[in-house]
Structure 1
Amino acid sequence: MTTQNLLVELFVEELPPKALKKLGEAFAGALADQLRAQGLASEDSLVTAYASPRRLAAHVSHVWLKAADKAVQQKLMPVSVGLNTEGQATPALLKKLAALGADVSDPAAAVAALKRAPDGKAEALFYDSLVTGATLDTGLQKALDEAIRLLPIPKLMSYQLESDCELPGWSSVHFVRPAHGLVALHGSTVVPLKALGLTAGRSTQGHRFEAAVSPVVIEHADHYAETLARDGAVIAGFEARRAEIVSQLAEAAARLGGGVRAIEDEALLDEVTALVERPNVLVCEFEPQFLEVPQECLILTMKANQKYFPLLDAQGRLTHRFLVVSNIRPEDASAVVGGNERVVRPRLADAKFFFDQDRKKTLASRVEGLSRVVYHNKLGSQGERVERVRAIARAIAQPLGGEALAQAADTAAQLAKSDLLTDMVGEFPELQGIMGGYYARHDGLSEDIAFAIEDHYRPRFAGDALPRSAAGVVVALADKLETLVGMFGIGNLPSGDKDPFALRRHALGVIRMLIEKDLPLELDGLLAGAWPVFGERVVDAHTALADFIYDRLAGALREQGYSAQEVDAVLALRPQRLGQVARLLAAVRAFAALPESPALAAANKRIANILRKAGEVDPHVNPQLLQEPAEQNLYQAMQRFVPEANAQFEAGDYTASLQTLAALRGAVDAFFDDVMVNAEQLDLRLNRQGLLKSLHEAMNRVADLSRLAA
């Protein structure tokens, strides 16, 4: 049976731009999946998704007019239920067969056509039938209905359509936006579908203003994108339109020369792609005097409010030019350029006004106002939060840099939240911290303090830079620890995919700073020092928070390519200095590659089981009670190699420490072959348990090697 390519398009009013890409992919994917499930398309059928501001479409290759008939075997019931003692059909069996469409006029013949086969402990009756394959008309209708139902629509709209039936009136339709057209073509043939009150045809609409004809008639499924581009002035494909915008942005920046480039922002690019059907990039500019305002403010207002692409010079500094992606291509674009320049000017003027007004008050003068801003109803005000962060910061800073660092961190922590009360941050919350740094410099504070204020939210996201100064690291650690301890202390924990206070991100930030800065701080000490600053407001959830942080660390390490066994072996010992974890993992990986590793890991697992059953065991060994040659040899080997391994461990050479201990493999194997640990004589049993306890402690300083056992 020959196949044709299929096209389905829904023509609607402007779709939500931030959801368009996902909607397009979901619509095409669900439609193709449903066709495959019904046998109308194969796994080899190619699916192309189209999504523009006013349409969702899918092109599916090699779609059949009718799916192949399919042989199906159905289990009916146990033989004991379907047949009586004489082997004749029971009423229950005949009723079941009739329901399946089988001919039961001759019960004996109907029974003879059935198959008997084992089903668990009993025999069952099976019925073979041929299911007629779905036709494209019915199968595509079902696929389209399901694709519409499964769309990840952010919010449904309800609208009315005039009824097309004999009875007058209106019918309610629920969809992401009002739909006005439906195209369904199998090759060049219209498939008679209905959806959202519409009947399928071959006509759609092009660009609102620049289409060559209206309506745009699609003659063949394979000519969809070409016809829309030629007659409708629309680039139908999301990725094709996005690539066109990227190309035009680069060309426009290159024409200006001097190494100028458009700012890179993938989310903005996706959003703009979802706003235009026929992109046309134009160069605009604003008055250079606005560049006195911090560039972060100008960039944010242009991107967030106007969807413009700011232009940076070769040094990454903002220029007074920007790019706009227009949806029209007039011969004279001066009116479009002028309009966009007029629109952006008040936005930039607002930013300049906020900046000028904010600098009339110092950050220090705003600190008192934080006591009137609620942070959390169980944790008090932002002012109280600041005092807690200050106390935690001083405690962290003292062992890292003494009183000088503690004083710098205290000053930065005191001022870090003050910019929350500024007009600029009130308008653009994304600039909190950044504006604090600018205002700190204006107040005459040192660059170190300004950096610490600016960086104390870092890292804000995966891959974000860490704070640049020691004071910044201290305040960032203190800020994240205050959030984690406070939220855990009131039981406000993440659940499933819900994490409103970004506790997972805060935990990963703490982990990254401790590891990447290799800070000589112990995790338990950090957490223990943070609880008292809350007083009676929270309960001590130290263990739960530590578990949470180690879980985040385990996930991060696995994402970096370490195996689950390696990560479990190292983190089972709860290393306190997270900066050492990478070296511990490297040592475990090197140990696992040794030929002695499997046997020693298995022995470690066996030793752990013996000690667990024995309860409290004293690691002391009396050499006089070592009777068997194998236990004497193990003790002597330990006397030789364990001190060397311990010295290497203390020196931080974890790989060498484990490799030294690998020399015990032969003595350990012989011990378990020849020695009965749980001897009847009490002193012998306790001595042998003590020997194993001392061996276990020596071998598991780097990691729990039993976790490497298969």
Structure 2
Amino acid sequence: MTTKNLLVELFVEELPPKDLKKFGASFSSVLADSLKANGLSTEHSAVTSYASPRRLAVHISAVRVQADDKAVSLKLVPVSVGLTADGQPTPALLKKLSSVGADASVVPQLRRQVDGKAEALFFDSTAKGMTLAAALQEALDKALAQLPIRKVMQYQLADGWSSVNFVRPAHGLVALHGADVVPVSVLGLSAGRATHGHRFEAKVDPVVVQDADHYAKQLEEQGAVLASFEHRHAEIVRQLQHEAGRLGLTPIDDPVLLDEVTALVERPNVLLCEFEKEFLDVPQECLILTMKANQKYFPLLDSHGKLTNKFLIVSNIRPEDPGRVIGGNERVVRPRLADAKFFFDQDRKKTLASRVPGLAKVVYHGKLGTQGERAERVQAIGHAIVNLLRLSTVPYSVDDKDHFDVLDSKVREAAQLAKADLLTDMVGEFPELQGVMGGYYARHEGLRDGVAIAIEDHYKPRFAGDSLPRNHTGTVLALADKLETLVGLFGIGQLPTGDKDPFALRRHALGVIRILIEKHLHLSVEELAKAAVPAFGTLIDDPTDALATFIYERLAGTLREQGYSAHEVDAVLALRPAPSEVPKRLAAVRAFASLPESASLAAANKRVGNILKKAEGTVEAKVDAALLQEPAEAALYEALQKVKPKADAAFDAGDQTASLQALAALKEPVDAFFDKVMVNAEDAALRANRLGLLATLHAAMNRVADLSRLAT
């Protein structure tokens, strides 16, 4: 059967820019998948998505006008139910046939086939292939129903009586199979071939689409619209780089902003603007944020990453003289920058310390009190973390003289002031700058070295891939801040559920993990949680176990994303080591798994674990050499006496890989033990001694990881 290419476009009023990319992908994929499922297209059909501020469209190649007929086999009833003893149809069979549009005349053609334990009657027929019109109607309905719309609106149709619900009012529908219109309808619209181009710069209106393959070209040439989201995105990037390159500057790198601007324009035109240099006295984060968030501009940076007084705009029109567009945008941005300068100047008139009492009036959470109380808890948790580092078995290097006392003092000071910038005008206008502005104001006040940086960094890492705190004080403070959030909310039962995580607890957990691993803090999750709990007084249940499980689950997910296998991750995390040890243990497990002896030892380890679990009472890892009767058990004991000290010494020296590899020598004696020794001997003393030998083996094998998790 011959095929033609298909084009479907829904023309609407301006769609929400932050959702346009998702809308375009969803519309095209759902529609194409539905057609494919109904046999109108194949896996070789190319799908091209289009999405602009006023349209969602899709082009699909090699689409049939009608699907192939299908052979259908329908089970009716068991033979014993459908036929009488003399082979006549029963009322039950006739009723079933009637339900599928057949009658008694087809009874002789019914097929008998064993189905389970009984023989059943099957009705074989041919289903007519679905027409394109019917399949496209179904596909369109599905595509619109499954759009990820956050909020719908209701609007009246042209008849003045009917109303429909959709994300924005729809005004046109194009459906072309080759050059032929496909008779479908949706949202009160019937398909045709006419669409509309740019509001102001279209050469022709309406644009009458010649056929499916001329859609994008006609829209660009006659309608002044780049219909493809990817095409517009690439064109904006090209123009941004070209304009910035002429000045030796670099546009700000912000993929989210780029996507949003791509969704705002149909015909991008990048223009260069500038503002007064006096505004550069304001912290560049403030200026960049106001230009991006409020105006959707692209600030320009110099070769050192410093903000310049020049910026780029993406206009939706291309006038012969762009001067008025440029001047208008420069006038618009000036009051925004002036506001930022005013906020910055006003905020510096008060110290951070003078704002701290005001935190007692800012509610943090109904069950956890105010931001003032929160700051006190962060301070207490920070003090507890410093003490844990002071007592850590793996020394934590701090540069200051009398380092831990100085660190403790800095952490206390930074914790007291860290939330004060929440009461500043700048953070009130731009909440995204909390912490950042605190750092600026602390430096302005001349606070001692390290405290200002810690205040600025204590929210880090804010997102995946973000940098970590830059100094020791900031590291402890960031860890304390995240633990305060996690312990507090877990303590009142405010856990994430499904996709809902309003307090970003998953992000906080990942932040804790990154800090512990990348800053080499040899602290366990359990001890950190326990150290944080007292800061909440008696009003909180101990969430230590639940929180530790939550954090290790996040760590497991992160490690799998990094390419470690589920077996490797489970083996290491089963022992719940300090996160800072995890990378070395994973490397050791991976190296061990590559040894020829690993599979046998992992299986044996699993068997040993099962035996010990089933043993009555507590089994001590203790062996009486005088009770070793069988040569195989004596050989295993002797091998353990040689291998265990080597493995333990390597482990204690931090060489996890060597510790595990030393165990390879146990393969043969372990295999021989299980082949020739009966563990559960009738003699109680022999049985206890053999269990003790296995307990000693189990302890020796599982210091780095639970090797039984490697068994398949």
User: Structure 1 length normalisation: TM-score?
Assistant: 0.97
**1:121 is matched by which residue type in structure 2?**
K
Return structure 1 stretches of 4+ with deviation > 4 angstroms. none
Q: Work out which of the residue numbers 211, 218, 223 in structure 1 matches 2:202.
A: 211
Q: Can you list the C-alpha shifts for 1:624-647, whole angstroms capped at 9, x where unaligned?
A: 111111111111111122112111
Q: Deviations along 1:652-673, whole A, 9 cap, x unmatched? A: 1111111112111111111111
Q: CA deviation at 1:450?
A: 1.0
2:337 aligned to which of 348, 354, 362:
348
**Take 1:323 and 1:606, find their aligned partners in 2: how far apart are those partners?**
67
- Corresponding residue number in structure 2 for 1:289: 278
What SS does structure 2 have at the residue aligned with 1:183? strand
Hey, what does 2:290 align to over in structure 1? Answer: 301
Give the Cα–Cα distance (whole angstroms) in 2 for the partners of residues 526 and 134 of structure 1. 63
Contact 1:569 1:706 in 2 (8 A): yes
2:314 paired residue among 312, 315, 325 = 325
- Contact 1:393 1:475 (C-alpha < 8 Å) held by counterparts: yes
Partner of 1:263: 252
Task: Please give the alpha-carbon distance, in whole angstroms, between the structure 1 residues aligned to 2:173 and 2:676.
Answer: 82
Q: CA deviation at 1:445?
A: 0.9
Q: Secondary structure at the match of 2:119?
A: strand
1:179 is aligned to 2:181 = no
Residue number in structure 2 paired with 1:166: none
Question: Which secondary structure does the structure 2 equivalent of 1:185 belong to?
Answer: strand
Show the counterpart of 2:393. Answer: none
Contact 2:270 2:312 in 1 (8 A): yes
Report Cα offsets for 1:15-58 as digits up to 9, x if no partner.
Answer: 11111111111111111112112211112111111111111111
Q: Could you tell me how far apart the structure 1 residues matched to 2:690 and 2:136 are?
A: 75
TM-superposition CA deviations, 1:86-110 (whole Å, max 9, x none): 2211112112212222243x3xxx2
- Aligned-partner residue type, residue 515 of structure 1: I
Give the match for residue 441 of structure 1: 443
| Aligned residue in 2 for 1:524 | 526
1:235 maps to what in 2?
226
Asked if the contact 2:482–2:509 (Cα under 8 Å) also holds between the matched residues in 1, the reply is yes
1:596 corresponds to which residue? 597
| Higher mean C-alpha displacement, 446-455 vs 94-103 | 94-103
- Which secondary structure does the structure 2 equivalent of 1:366 belong to? helix
Aligned to 2:193: 202
Cα distance in 2 for partners of 1:594, 1:162 equals 74
Structure 1 portions without partners, runs of 5+ = 164-168
CA distance in 1, matches of 2:328, 2:158: 39
Aligned match of 2:214: 223
Query: How do 1:532-681 and structure 2 match up within 5 A?
Result: 532-575=534-577, 577-614=578-615, 615-681=617-683
Give 1:248's aligned residue: 239
Once the two structures are TM-superposed, the CA of residue 514 in structure 1 deviates from its matched residue by: 0.6
The match for 1:157 is 153
Aligned partner of 1:19 in structure 2 is 19
Indicate the residue corresponding to 2:374 in structure 1: 385
Q: Is the 8 A contact 1:455 1:468 kept in 2?
A: yes
Cα distance between partner residues in 1 of 2:255 and 2:629: 73
| Alpha-carbon distance in structure 2 between the residues aligned to 1:141 and 1:586 | 55
Residue by residue over 1:559-618, the C-alpha shift from the partner in whole angstroms, topping out at 9 and shown as x without a partner, is 11111111111111111x321111111111111111111111111111111111113112
Q: Deviations over 1:245-298 (max 9, x none)?
A: 000101111122xx3011011110110011111010000000000000000000
Q: Judge conservation of contact 1:678–1:685 (CA < 8 Å) in 2.
A: yes
Of 693, 696, 702, the residue aligned with 2:695 is 693
**Structure 2 equivalent of residue 85 of structure 1:** 85
> Counterpart in 2 of 1:67?
67
**Aligned pairs for 1:95-174 within 5 A:** 95-104=95-104, 106=105, 110-163=106-159, 170-174=161-165
Letter of the structure 2 residue corresponding to residue 25 of structure 1: A
Code of the residue aligned with 2:45 in structure 1: it is S
Contact 1:378 1:537 in 2 (8 A): no
* Separation in 2, partners of 1:683, 1:222: 87
Show CA shifts across 1:442-483 (max 9, x none).
Answer: 111134111100000000111111000000000000000111
Partner of 2:479: 477
Verify the 8 A CA contact 1:373 1:382 in the aligned structure 2: yes
Greater shift in the superposed pair: 86-95 or 207-216: 86-95
Structure 1 CA distance for aligned equivalents of residues 61 and 501 of structure 2 = 42
SS in 1 for 2:210: coil
Distance in 2 between residues matched to 1:644 and 1:58, nearest whole Å = 66
Task: Give the one of 356, 363, 374 matched to 2:363.
Answer: 374
CA distance in 2, matches of 1:197, 1:647: 78
Bigger CA drift: 578-587 or 410-419? 578-587
2:272 is paired with a residue of what secondary structure? strand
Query: TM-score normalised to the size of structure 2?
Result: 0.97
Q: Please give the per-residue CA displacement for 1:42-93, whole angstroms capped at 9, x wherever unaligned.
A: 1211111111111111111111111111111111122222112222111121
1:51 aligned partner: 51
Q: SS of 1:182's equivalent?
A: strand
Amino acid across the alignment from 1:74: L
Tell me the alpha carbon deviations over residues 365-413 of structure 1, each in whole angstroms, 9 at most, x when there is no partner. 1111101111111111111111110011112124154101000111111
Q: Which residue of 2 aligns with 1:35?
A: 35
Give the counterpart letter for 2:207 in structure 1.
Answer: V
Output the CA distance in 2 between the equivalents of 1:157 and 1:644.
71
The letter of the residue matching 1:594 is L
Equivalent position SS for 2:19: helix
d(CA) in 2 for partners of 1:310 and 1:537? Answer: 48
Percent identity for Structure 1 against Structure 2 = 69
2:400 is matched with none
- Please give the secondary structure, in 1, of the residue aligned with 2:532: helix
Equivalenced residue count is 698
| 2:384 is the alignment partner of 1:395 | yes
Match of 1:422 in 2: 424
Task: Tell me the distance in 1 between the aligned counterparts of 2:562 and 2:600.
Answer: 28
Corresponding residue of 2:517: 515
**CA distance in structure 2 between the partners assigned to 1:667 and 1:142 by the alignment:** 68
Question: Distance in 2 between the 1:147 and 1:589 partners?
Answer: 46
> Could you tell me whether the CA contact under 8 Å between 1:621 and 1:691 is conserved in 2?
yes
Distance in 1 between residues matched to 2:643 and 2:65, nearest whole Å: 77
SS in 2 for 1:10: strand
What SS class does the counterpart of residue 336 from structure 1 fall into? helix
Q: Does 1:10 align with 2:10?
A: yes
Separation of aligned partners in 1, 2:308 and 2:114: 79
Aligned equivalents of 2:217, 2:620: Cα separation in 1 = 82
Letter in 2 for 1:94: L
What is the identity, as a one-letter code, of the residue corresponding to 2:29?
Answer: G
Aligned to 2:399: none
Is the 1:354–1:424 contact (alpha carbons within 8 Å) kept by the matching residues of 2?
yes
Residue range with higher mean Cα deviation, 302-311 or 659-668: 659-668
Distance 2:693 2:136 in 1: 74
CA distance in 1, matches of 2:626, 2:133: 91
C-alpha deviation, 1:522, in angstroms:
2.8
State whether residues 389 and 475 of structure 1, in contact with CA within 8 Å, keep that contact through their aligned partners in structure 2. Answer: yes
Instruction: Give, in whole Å, the separation in 1 of the partners of 2:649 and 2:217.
Output: 74
Report the secondary structure of 1:691's partner residue: helix
2:118 alignment partner AA: A
Displacement of 1:523? 2.5
Give the Å deviation of 1:520. Answer: 2.6
8 Å CA contact retained: 1:78, 1:124:
yes
